[in-house]
Structure 1
Amino acid sequence: MNSTSRYALLTALGLAVAAVAPGAPAFAAKKEEKPSKPALKIGNEIRKPLGEADAAIKKKDVAAAEAALATARGLAKTPDEQFVVAQYSLNAAQVSGDQAKLSAALDALITAGEASGQLADDQRSQYYWFQGQFAYQAKNYTKAEASLQRAIAAGTPHADAYAILADAQSRNGKPGEAVATLQKVIDAKAAAGEAIPSEWYGRGADIASRAKLPNEFVRLTTAWLSAYPVKQNWHDSLFIYRQLGGLSGDVDLDMMRLARAAGALPLSAASNYIDYALAVYLKFPNEAVDVLNEGIAAGKLNASSSQNTREIISLSQPKIAADKASIPAAITAANGAKSSFKSVMTTADLLYGYKDYAKAAEFYKLALTKPGADAGQANFRLGLALALAGDKAGAKAAFDAVTSGAYAPLAAYAKVWAEKPATA
């Protein structure tokens, strides 16, 4: 998020003010250009100190300018006069280089400008935008939130206004509103076909995770992954969701299967490889050994120093030959009349572990026809198998079928992965 400087502020606002010498015509509103703005009216008494302030500003004599402005401020009786004083004060603050003075002068300009009816929406959008930035930099997040909301309502062209507003809302203890702010602008920009900065998604995801808002987190991160499908984003999204959602059992295992398929597992901690292997080694020794060997190849695990790695491999490796030899009998039994949802799923998982994804998909489909089928689990695993077998359309249909329950968030992630595989 960008922050402003005193130079950027005056350049953007174009607030160099013409001199108002004694006897000079009253400030005009340039009715021909902006007929909605009323003409400024200032009294003769205030013109002398304003002229002195103007001359001092041009000489960069800040002390003299401030002294003249203090006199003018004491004489200003109407919003119009206060507005003119504030304009000169802003120019004097620019010369001084004091951001606190610049911020105070801008506050006065906004207050007087609103009271005098001198602010058009294009000016509001700029004035409140900079006021919001000053407040944010000063850690006055309540003021920043209010100012940035006004800037956005006036149509500020600064896209960062939404990101800074969301951060201010979060710091004000309003994480739900912060996420909604980002989601609103993300949705609008996506609908318009405009690019959205990756850090917006990341900031929103961070706010949602810290506030323990899993639904918002999933919505933001799936959009993030669709726009920026890099492996690091996959890793962060899945493993933060793992903690946020308190995943356990089969759902946790399937999250790690997705992370592995997406290429995100090598970016994770060594403990995740161990968790994965522990979840499968008793029933699917080949899958456990494969996962641990991948961890070793990725430099995450070392069999000589990791007791878990060493023991799981030593227990599982000798079982693989018999396990593989059991596949034909398992297929026959799964196709038999006495097979159940669980037994067919076990056969499908066995085939999945040996990377026979197309055959595994056949049995996940069969499992869905069995009484008591867990449709969410079976469709999710079916989608993974089909995607890995190269059937993206079939995978999408399977993931689309998971609309509720613990597997729905995983299916939302997996659908993005099937459509846009992770990049380096």
Structure 2
Amino acid sequence: MPRPKYALTAYDPDAEYDDNWALCADAENLFGDPPAPPRGTYELIGCAPGGELDKALARARADGSAPLGLLTLEILDKNGGRVEEWSLADVRVLGDRPCARDLSLRDITVEAREPLHNPFDYPQCPPLSPGYRLLGAEDEPWGSCRDLAHVPDGRPDLVEPPVRLLGCAPRGALRTALDAGEEDLGHAKLVRLDTAGHAVQTAVEGELVAWIPSARGRGLVDLALEPWSDRPPTAAEQVWELWDGGRPTEPGLWARCTTEGRHHWLTTALGRHEAHRPDAEPGGTYHLDGRHIVDEPGFFCALGEAVNGPGGYFGWGLDALADCLCGRRGARRPFTLVWHDAEVARTCLGLVPRTDHRPWTFEELLAFLVDEGIDVRLA
């Protein structure tokens, strides 16, 4: 059997990686990037438009449609107080008509997408609520509406194929279930292995739904796994290849990855962090290699490496970094951080146009570190 890339284990959050059901030579249909948030059509019912919404509506009447940007619906209680916010991004106003409930108001049709950070799928007003207060990107007032309706587009949901696990050597409970001809093969998780057979990261979790004899060798089977967890992004494949020999010993390998790959590098580094290793003594000095910090995840990849060596982890966002500074992640404040080639980050960070959340700028990251008691020296 060729070197297995994956191990299949029983789905048990507390199970050890080496308590496996099968070693698998490879997998198909494993990686999958989430689709871009779809654009939908919405009706702002019983709307009294104001501000930029009113101006965009006038342009839409003249030109057929008009861009508006981010629109926030502030959900109101029965007394007109704020309950929660829900947003539509990249809004384009398509038109309007008189509201059937109140001819002094308008029903406004817009096209937009739902940002990923919305707190729930659809905004629900509490009983006796007057509806929503409409706000712009800087909380400027854009009027109000009494209700919101999502106009279905009639498109069917995309169905993803199951993950195919190829050349699997079953053992334990899975071997017993296959020999007995059982239809229920159980719930499992798939784990990526390095060349030494050690776990790199959990890839996906789901239900085993079918099997066939494998063309890859006598006694081997190909299994079909229906995921219930998100599939790893395509960028994970490159990250896992860079970790194929175990935790990296060469610095800067993360710089070969795209921005999405660097995000995944951070989750891999977190999973492989030695939680019980004692922290270094406070007051030390760490050197941050800034040559490749051209995006926000690159900063955290470089910081993890500066503190804990190649493949090290020291936060993947500012909240996580603040937790790391309290200890048990390799270092505790206070310490000195020498940021080499800082001009790269000063030039590159925070330049992505704001859609949902703008990345942190160099100045903002620097201010955060200083506020947290880190002595930052730019080199």
| TM band (smaller chain) | under 0.3
Give TM-score scaled by structure 1 length.
0.24
Q: As a proportion of its length, which structure holds more helix?
A: 1
Give TM-score scaled by structure 2 length.
0.26
Greater Rg by CA? 1
